[in-house]
């Protein structure tokens, strides 16, 4: 087990490439070593070698003898994540479901993570009803799962259930007060129900947490514009433009158009005063 243990130590240290070589040696010396196959899959997944990671997870699953249900469920879970990274969403869903079937009655926090990732897979297929069910199950198992509350809110918002989404974004923020994506999306939800001052406050929180996000700044600019605070809208749009990658020509054009509009309205407002 020397190669396997050394691989574990190297992976914990962050030396993924060296860990992979040690796990390969462990597998070569003992082809029926399921945990080495699983750990090699983990290291390859971390390195971005998704096809090879999936192959080693599948090898680990063929070597079930002597493995606990928890270990087998973990391999199904990891294989599902490898399939997700490859864009093979249906295969991922199947593996998450296998993980849940094997892990029935197991650790609730781990089961919540499986339900959450399964929800994410359904969300990628735009099957929001099923995603909502999975996020709710994750929350039942782990009520403090802020990401599950956040993605539940996103799915509810996609289905037009804005008030329910607002409640879930707020719960996510109770659990993680500095959560810029939740602040931003709560701002979006509040904007949809014409609660503009509250939306501005949420966008400001998002920008405070991530001041270089052009999306957050652009949303803040639009909220200021909705409140007819043209000067503030102009400033936020100009700041957003500073952080847009040069390759995102569509957003650059949009922001330039907004800057022109906000500037014109700011000038007109100043003349009226």
Mean pLDDT score, 213-223: 98
Q: How large is the average pLDDT for residues 138-151? A: 97
- Name the band, by pLDDT with cuts 50, 70 and 90, for residue 104: low
Can you give the pLDDT at residue 189?
98
- Residue 103: band (very low, low, confident or very high) from pLDDT cuts 50, 70, 90: low
Look over the chain and give the mean of its residue pLDDT values, rounded to a whole number. 95
Q: What is the pTM of this model?
A: 0.89
The span from the CA of 96 to the CA of 93, in Å, is 5
Contact 249, 227 (CB under 8 A): no
Mean pLDDT value of segment 102-108: 69
Residues ≥6 apart with Cβ < 8 Å to 179: 146, 150, 172, 173, 209
Confidence of residue 229 (pLDDT cuts 50, 70, 90): very high
User: At 106, is the pLDDT very low, low, confident or very high (cuts 50, 70, 90)?
Assistant: low
One CATH from 1.20.1250.20, 3.20.20.120, 1.25.40.10, 3.30.379.10 for 2-211: 1.25.40.10
Round to whole Å and give the CA distance between 172 and 166.
10
Residue 69 pLDDT grade (very low, low, confident, very high; cuts 50, 70, 90): confident
pLDDT at 102 > cutoff 80: yes
Better-predicted residue by pLDDT, 110 or 18: 18
Q: If pLDDT is split at 50, 70 and 90, which confidence band does 272 have?
A: confident
Q: So what's the pLDDT on residue 1?
A: 62
Q: By three-state DSSP, how is residue 20 classified?
A: helix
SS3 124: helix
Tokens of 252: 């650059």
The fraction of the chain above a pLDDT of 70, given in percent, is 97
Confidence of residue 67 (pLDDT cuts 50, 70, 90): confident
Q: Show the CA angle centred on residue 8, arms to residues 23 and 28, nearest 5°.
A: 15
């Amino acid at each position: 087990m020397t190669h396997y243990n050394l691989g574990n130590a190297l992976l914990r240290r962050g030396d993924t490439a060296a860990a992979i070589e040690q796990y390969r040696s462990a597998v070569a010396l003992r082809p029926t070593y399921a945990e080495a196959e699983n750990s090699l899959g983990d290291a390859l997944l971390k390195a971005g070698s998704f096809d090879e990671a999936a192959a080693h997870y599948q090898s680990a699953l063929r070597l079930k003898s002597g493995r606990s249900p928890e270990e087998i469920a973990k391999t199904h879970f990891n294989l599902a994540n490898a399939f997700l990274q490859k864009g093979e969403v249906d295969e991922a869903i199947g593996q998450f479901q296998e993980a849940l079937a094997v892990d029935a009655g197991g650790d609730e926090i781990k089961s919540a993570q499986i339900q959450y990732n399964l929800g994410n897979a359904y969300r990628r297929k735009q099957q929001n009803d099923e995603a909502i069910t999975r996020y709710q199950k994750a929350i039942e198992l782990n009520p403090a799962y802020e990401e599950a509350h956040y993605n539940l809110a996103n799915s509810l918002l996609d289905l037009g259930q804005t008030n329910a989404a607002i409640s879930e974004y707020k719960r996510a923020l109770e659990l993680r007060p500095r959560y810029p994506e939740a602040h931003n999306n709560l701002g979006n939800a509040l904007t949809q129900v014409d609660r503009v001052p509250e939306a501005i406050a949420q966008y400001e929180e998002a920008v405070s947490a991530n001041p270089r996000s052009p999306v957050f700044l652009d949303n803040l600019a639009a909220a200021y514009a909705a409140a007819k605070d043209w000067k503030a809208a102009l400033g936020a749009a100009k700041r957003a433009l500073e952080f847009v990658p040069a390759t995102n020509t569509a957003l650059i054009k949009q922001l330039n158009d907004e800057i022109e509009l906000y500037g014109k309205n700011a000038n007109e407002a100043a003349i009226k005063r």
